Amino acid sequence: MNETIVDGGAVRLRPWAERDVEEVSRACGDPEIARYLPLLPSPYTAGDARWWITTGAPAAWQADGAAWAVVDPATDRVLGGAGMSHVVAGRGQAEVGYWVAPWARRQGVATAAARAVAGWAFRERGLVRLELLTAATNEASQRVALAAGFTREGVRRGAGTDRFGERVDLTAFVRLAADSGDRVAPGLPDFPGGQLTDGNATIRPITVADADDLLALHALPEVAKTNLGPRGTAEFMRLRCESTGADWLAGARANCVILDAATGAFAGDIGLFYQEPFTRQALIGYGLRPEFRGRGLATSAARLISDWALEHAGVIRVCAGTFPYNEASRAVLRRAGFEQEAYMKAKLPGPDGTRIDDIQFVRIAERFR
């Protein structure tokens, strides 16, 4: 069985061979692979690669799973690894896994490999359900899952462990034999070109490099006063930044930074929270550093993100709430095309068990106005 070769079009899946030792050891020494495959030895040596090829991979086949080298069909060079594990025969299900060598990334290798494994599992093993589990922050792997026809099913709390033995959440994607296998659209679409700008402000998705700027922004008393969520510690902000891509793909939220378009300087943040997909209603919130206020950047950002939501993300209503004292924020929303809709008494939690009124504004997709 371990002599099985699968033609994946852009890739070929073949048995591991002794000649692969050097490339496996180089690839699995990469920090990104080590980060998301915590059970791999670290540092990863040629001896570890040889054990995998001679013992680990054959053992996977003996356990009714599969383990292949993913190679270039023309040159036979190793591009990565792929396999199937955790087979539950009674449920007709198994788990798909893969890794890609640093020299083969961003070339569609993982997507082609995942598709090839899935096709083989449904065709040759008669399975009906395949799971693909990723680290909750592994945006790249989650994009592969969607591209390979897997649908996001939810978060498995504490289903994995990190390199230090701590329990971590895993995000589950599933493909059924009856599924088309076509690419599954993400919960929220990417910005066209990766960012939005009107020449005054630019907004783009948050990255880990923004963590310090965001922490400083949310430490400002006037910004912290309007933040009803968890207080921003350095760890919280790092996790928020690391989760931005996964939250976006899940359709939960689009967290962005606001930049001065002229200089590229960090000016603030803005987020769209898709809290009611069924009614197609989203909520935005934003904050600016003091030195960038009064220059129309918040207005630009609110207009940019709501335009995108209404025109590209299928949202019908974009809402924004303001505290009664915050006339400046209401002025921003009016200039961005929002209109006041409601005064909601005691809607929001305040300090020490109190409640705060909320004045709500809304922009509605033009075809429903």
Phi-psi region of 200 (alpha: psi -120 to 50; beta: other; left: phi over 0): alpha
**Model pLDDT, residue 152:** 97
DSSP 124: H
pLDDT digits (tens, 9 = 90+) for 308-328: 999 999 999 999 999 999 999
pLDDT band at 332 (very low <50, low <70, confident <90, very high): very high
- Binning pLDDT at 50, 70 and 90, where does residue 229 land? low
SS3 7: strand
**% residues pLDDT > 70 (the chain):** 98
pLDDT for the residue numbered 227: 77
> Given this model, what pLDDT does residue 351 score?
79
- Cβ-count burial 17-33 (b if 16+ within 10 Å, e if not): eeebbebbbbbbbbeeb
pLDDT recorded at residue 369: 78
**In this structure, are residues 347 and 355 in contact, taking their beta carbons and an 8 Å threshold?**
yes
Query: Cα–Cα distance between 41 and 50 in angstroms, integer?
Result: 13
What confidence score (pLDDT) does residue 91 get? 96
Q: Which two tokens stand for residue 68?
A: 């292949």
Q: How confident is the prediction for the chain on average, in pLDDT?
A: 95
According to the model, what pLDDT value does residue 177 have? 98
Amino acid 46: pLDDT: 97
Render pLDDT for 70-79 as a digit per residue (tens, 0 to 9): 999 999 999 9
pLDDT of amino acid 226: 80
Give the DSSP letter string of 321-333. EE-TT-HHHHHHH
Query: Distance between CA 56 and CA 54 in Å, rounded?
Result: 6
Question: Which tokens sit at 259?
Answer: 């930049």
pLDDT of 225 reads: 81
Question: In the predicted model, what is the mean pLDDT of residues 35-49?
Answer: 93
Q: Which of 18-22, 121-125, 365-369 has the lowest mean pLDDT?
A: 365-369
Structure-block tokens of residue 321: 């709430």
Complete domains list, the chain, with CATH: 6-176 (3.40.630.30), 192-368 (3.40.630.30)
The whole-number pLDDT of residue 129 equals: 98
Q: What are residue 314's phi and psi, to 5 degrees?
A: 80, 10
pLDDT at 16: 97
Residue 294, number of CB atoms within 10 A of its CB: 10
**Contact of 94 with 132, CB cutoff 8 Å:** no
pLDDT at 108: 97
Distance CA 287, CA 298 (A): 8
Beta carbons within 8 Å of 110's beta carbon, 6+ residues apart: 80, 98, 100, 141, 144, 148
| Other beta carbons within 10 Å of 6 | 19
Partners of residue 88 on adjacent β-strands: 93
Per-residue pLDDT for 93 more than 60?
yes
pLDDT at residue 166 tops 80 = yes
Q: Which amino acid is at 181?
A: G
pTM: 0.92
293/306 Cα distance (integer angstroms): 20
> Are the C-beta atoms of residues 320 and 339 closer than 8 Å to each other?
no
- Cα–Cα nearest to 322, from 206, 225, 203, 219: 225
pLDDT, average across residues 216-233: 82
Q: What is the mean pLDDT of residues 2-21?
A: 93
pLDDT tens digits, one per residue of 242-294: 999 999 999 999 999 999 999 999 999 999 999 999 999 999 999 999 999 99
Rounded percentage of the chain residues whose pLDDT exceeds 90: 88
Check residue 231 and give its pLDDT: 65
Q: What is the tens place of the pLDDT at every residue in 115-161?
A: 999 999 999 999 999 999 999 999 999 999 999 999 999 999 999 99
The β-bridge relationship of strands 317-322 and 196-197 is: unpaired
- Looking at residue 82, its pLDDT comes to 98
Question: Average pLDDT, stretch 220-233?
Answer: 78
